[in-house]
Amino acid sequence: MVKGGYMGKYLVVDMTTGTCETHEWNEEYLELFIGGPALGARMLWDMMPAHVDALAPESVFGFLASPLNGTNALFGGRYTIVSKSPVTNGFNDANSGGYFGPELKKAGFDALFIKGKSEKPVYLLITDDKCEIRDASHIWGLDYYEAEAKIRDEVEAELGVKNVRTAGIGPAGERGSHIAALMNDMHHTAGRGGSAAVLGAKGVKMVVVKGTKKIPIADPDKLNEMKKGYLAALKEADTQVFKDSGSGEAAPGCILGNDASTKNWSAVGSDYYTPEEAEMLGSPWADAKYKTKSKACAACPFGCGALYKVEDGAYPIGETTRPQYETIAAFSSNILVKDPAVNIYANDLCNRAGIDTISAGGTVAWAIEAFENGDLTTDDTDGIKLAWGDGDAAIELLKKMCSGEGCGEIFQHGTLYACQALGNRGAQFMTVFSGIEPGQHDPRLMPGLGRAYKWDPVPGRHVKGTTGYVIEDDKYNFGEDGPHTGAADVEWTSYTELESAAGFCQFGGIYGGQFTAVEDVEAVTGLAVDLAKYGPRSFLMRLAFSVREGIERKDYTANPRNMGEPPLKGGPTDGVTIPVDTLGERFYEALGCDMEHFWPYKDTLKALGGLDDVAEEIGLDRP
Amino acid sequence: MVTIKFLSGLERRLGLSDNSYSFEEPAPVPFRTLFEKLNIQNLESITRPLFVNCERKTLTFDKALADLNVPDGETVVVFMINGGG
């Protein structure tokens, strides 16, 4: 029985009819799916018909606050968005930090689902138990930073309050860009998979929330006691570099160690970057020149965000946000650029337009390689002469993508769309997974990422699954003779499924050594979490949405380059090839799926609970 | 002279006071010899993979210990991949 962590209600807003309805949860859903991607997939399964276009009115977009949001459970500040992906045509989820999730709960709602299509641009104002649909014509077309500042000032003045929280889209989402990112609280991004285009198609520019309600906690004493223990443990861990410089501190090591992409995943970082050049791309170097303020998400003892003020160099853009690691890598080693000004400016451009920096950097890298190979010409790029290492040209193409003008009308949708629109020229250089550009961590170094990048229903994500570093595990021996990875893969994936559902930031584990999502969820909700069942239930619910859309094994695609076919020469991943199909087969076999389609068996789904109707609709009979 | 340099605060995790150490050794000198002079006691506590960069090549830490001879005047950079995100 649920005793805390939820407000007990969710909103459904129909943009076509202009109505806001409050619904009470089916408590079994909370017990079984907990939150985030799993609960979102379950709700989309119920609310959406199959086979509708992602951008159609019948398509549903969901915001899901998480059970840890607003409870002060450490690292528990993240919320999730869900929709059908306009790129994969399957399920999509993405998550973000900041303060939006906790505030939605304070306003009395655990989730918000939006369907239909508004005739004119609108924003939603959600306050204690209320939801209003308001005209947003005056902010439609503004970049995200401008739009948020304007609407925040207006609403705060009207309500006589401070610190309203916001989430919304930039011009890219308005235009339906397939790599549009949902932004929130100015600097935070749920960027991956193109869900922001779904919100844009509904005519919704922004959601503004302000609440005053208290969030129930099942066992507050236990939560506080655990929190004291975590804080003491964090003092023992050396987290200062991360506190000071955020995830961008990792850039030099990732570039030199071949975790970050070099030259669109085709080269070895240390062949192009000296340690000194790599260090200049790390956030400690840029912090020393530009950092003005640290920023933290709700309930975070780290504070890995920061503001910069850039008044020198190639792009003196003034106040901006410090790029995270992913953005740094995507706009430096990925395109062989050495000037940190490029990734700082690219980050600003993407945030204002509301574009995913990972996909944007991947698209630019593909375009450069195709251009260098003669597959694209200046006729395709509005005269921009793309070249490896030319940061100015990369920025010019990115500006086109952000504005959607000229060639940007094509490139704004990411690598797959652009390549197809240009007659599949340069297709061999597309380093995408089912159309999604991968995170800036290399499967040739971390083979579990290869499985997740290729075979997760939400492809190309570095935050799903993973089974550790290749050099720790029998020296790349994951082939037919190597250790059987299926059970370990399912086990670790199960934990990341729960982290996402809980709203727990993975940096708590990566940098702080805190893998406490299970204990936190139990203290907050009063539920007993059976991770061995929860993980597969969550994963297979996400998968089921895509299965219902007809997506099967043959539809999951990857560039062999990303798996080491042919292998890199030199560097720490010299000669490595990842047997990604074997990893996928072992994973899906351990989950209880068939090998032909990677679809779940009916009995697999029924054994997990809460999926009987799903099993009847898409489950296979076990031979 | 050869130098060992640590990136991104790795020296603190290894219990060292400085991020750079220079050695007046007749070069070339095995990386293992230099590293052992640092007398690091808690190498096992580093759970992320370590790498070594020397002469514009990156090697795994184990390979560097086994094979790397450091020429005179070189700086060996030791680092780990600590996540990103």
**Alpha carbons A454 and A434: distance in angstroms, whole number:** 7
Which residues from A are below 8 Å from B when comparing CB atoms? 238, 240-242, 247, 249-254, 256-260, 268-271, 274-275, 279, 282, 284, 324-326, 329, 440-441, 445, 462, 469, 471-472, 506-507, 510-511, 570-572
**Alpha carbons A274 and A104: distance in angstroms, whole number:** 47
Share of chain A above pLDDT 70, in %: 97
Picking from A247, A258, A271, the nearest residue to B85 by CB comes out as A247
pLDDT tens track for A5-42? 999 999 999 999 999 999 999 999 999 999 999 999 99
Pair type for strands A188-190 and A204-209: unpaired
Asked if the model's pLDDT at residue A482 lies above 90, the reply is no
Chain B residue numbers with beta carbons less than 8 Å from the beta carbon of A324 are: 85
Both structure tokens of A473: 């595990």
Which residues does B20 contact at the CB level (< 8 Å), separation at least 6?
B3, B4, B5, B6
pLDDT band at B45 (very low <50, low <70, confident <90, very high): confident
Reported ipTM: the value is: 0.89
Mean per-residue pLDDT over chain A, rounded: 95
- The domains of chain B, with CATH numbers, are 2-80 (3.10.20.30)
Picking from B5, B13, B57, the nearest residue to A238 by CB comes out as B13
The arithmetic mean of pLDDT across residues A511-535, rounded, is 94
8 Å CB contact between A248 and A208 = no
Chain B residue numbers with beta carbons less than 8 Å from the beta carbon of A275 are: 5, 7, 53, 75, 77
Picking from B7, B13, B85, the nearest residue to A252 by CB comes out as B7
Q: What stretch(es) of chain A map to CATH 1.10.569.10?
A: 238-429
For A447-511+528-618, give the CATH class: mainly alpha
Amino acid at A232: A
List b or e across A334-364, with b for residues whose CB sees 16 or more CB atoms inside 10 angstroms: bbbbbbbbbbbbbbbbbbbbbbbbbbbbbbb
Residue A409: predicted pLDDT: 98
Q: Which of A217-226, A237-246, A315-324, B68-77 comes out lowest in average pLDDT?
A: A237-246
Contact A253 B59 (CB under 8 A): no
Nearest CA in chain A to B45: A237
The arithmetic mean of pLDDT across residues A291-298, rounded, is 97
Options 1.20.58.340, 3.40.50.360, 3.60.9.10, 3.40.50.300; CATH for A9-209 is 3.60.9.10
Name which of A349, A344, A248, A348 is nearest A290 in CA terms: A344
Asked if the model's pLDDT at residue A478 lies above 90, the reply is no
Share of chain B above pLDDT 70, in %: 95
Nearest CA in chain A to B52: A257
Asked if the model's pLDDT at residue A569 lies above 50, the reply is yes
Share of chain A above pLDDT 90, in %: 90
Nearest CA in chain B to A247: B84
Give how far B81 is from chain A: nearest CA, Å.
5
Contact A271 B56 (CB under 8 A): yes
Contact A247 B84 (CB under 8 A): yes
Residue B55: predicted pLDDT: 93
**Alpha carbons B1 and A292: distance in angstroms, whole number:** 39
Helix (H) or strand (E) holding A420: helix A415-421
pLDDT tens track for B60-76? 898 999 999 999 999 99
Count other Cβ atoms within 10 Å, centred on residue A44.
Answer: 23
Contact A510 B83 (CB under 8 A): yes
The arithmetic mean of pLDDT across residues A230-237, rounded, is 84
Residue B81: predicted pLDDT: 82
Helix (H) or strand (E) holding A80: strand A79-84
Nearest CA in chain A to B60: A572
Helix (H) or strand (E) holding A449: helix A447-455
Q: Which CATH architecture has domain A238-429?
A: Orthogonal Bundle (1.10)
Give how far A259 is from chain B: nearest CA, Å.
8
pLDDT band at B85 (very low <50, low <70, confident <90, very high): low
Cα-to-chain-centroid distance, residue A38: 15
